[in-house]
Amino acid sequence: MDFDHDQWVRALLGKLKDTFGDRLLYVGHTGSYARGEATEGSDIDINIVLDRLTMDDLNEYRRMVRSMPDREKACGFICGREEMRAWPRHELFQFTQGCVVLHGSLDGLISAPTDDDIKDSIRNLASGIHHQCCHSYLFEESTADAADGLKFAYKAAFFILQEWVYLTDRRYVPTKREMIERLDGDDRKVLAICVGWDGLKDDRREHPERYFSLMKEWSSGMMRRATVQAERLR
């Protein structure tokens, strides 16, 4: 890719510091670029916490993003200090584990999720995938088109597996490359599909039921596994 990701991130960080000054409490970089696994269509995910977040701040950041080259790559999260402190804890795993800190610190803003928080995150994500899988299979006109719509379900599976491995092995595995080496069974099959998604288009068109069946069973099993593990940890 003819794109200098590091230069882009440095430029945005400089604009953030110049614009918000001491009000800028935290900037973190997450996602595929931070993991070194970006593709041509990847976004650059930047997480920002200000002392407070007003509509004027949103408008300023909106203008800032639109002044950036390759602005279509900009993505991420922004909030104020009080929102960060009140954020549902089961959604904070990637904040505390998966972000490359570019500025500031999360100290005093949030604490690491507990095992119960991680379990809740796994079940919430897996239940959403299970619902999407069944709903799409039942109600979409074309099963093949619906299978293409499972892309984000297979993508989300990676984040679920990150949390599962951390919960069971106390190790954060940052990349898909490292993760797949640790897996077997359906866990490995699901992540392999995630990694090879673009190259599987023809197979999805010919055998869409395979993708639905695997994801339905895997998401159901992950909900049960997280529930059982939570009971063991108590």
The string of pLDDT tens digits covering residues 60-79 is 999 999 999 999 999 999 99
Three-state secondary structure call for residue 54: coil
Average pLDDT, the chain: 94
- Whole-angstrom CA distances from 69 to 7, 44, 58, 72, 78 are 11, 12, 19, 8, 20
Q: Which CATH topology does 5-104 take?
A: Beta Polymerase; domain 2 (3.30.460)
Q: Token digits for 60? A: 């300023």
- Global pTM value: 0.91
- DSSP β-bridge partners for residue 48: 27, 78
Q: What is the pLDDT of residue 231?
A: 67
Any residues with CB less than 8 A from the CB of 149 and at least 6 apart, and which?
136, 140
Q: What is the pLDDT of residue 230?
A: 61
Q: What is the pLDDT of residue 206?
A: 97
The answer to whether the CB of 9 falls within 8 A of the CB of 102 is: yes
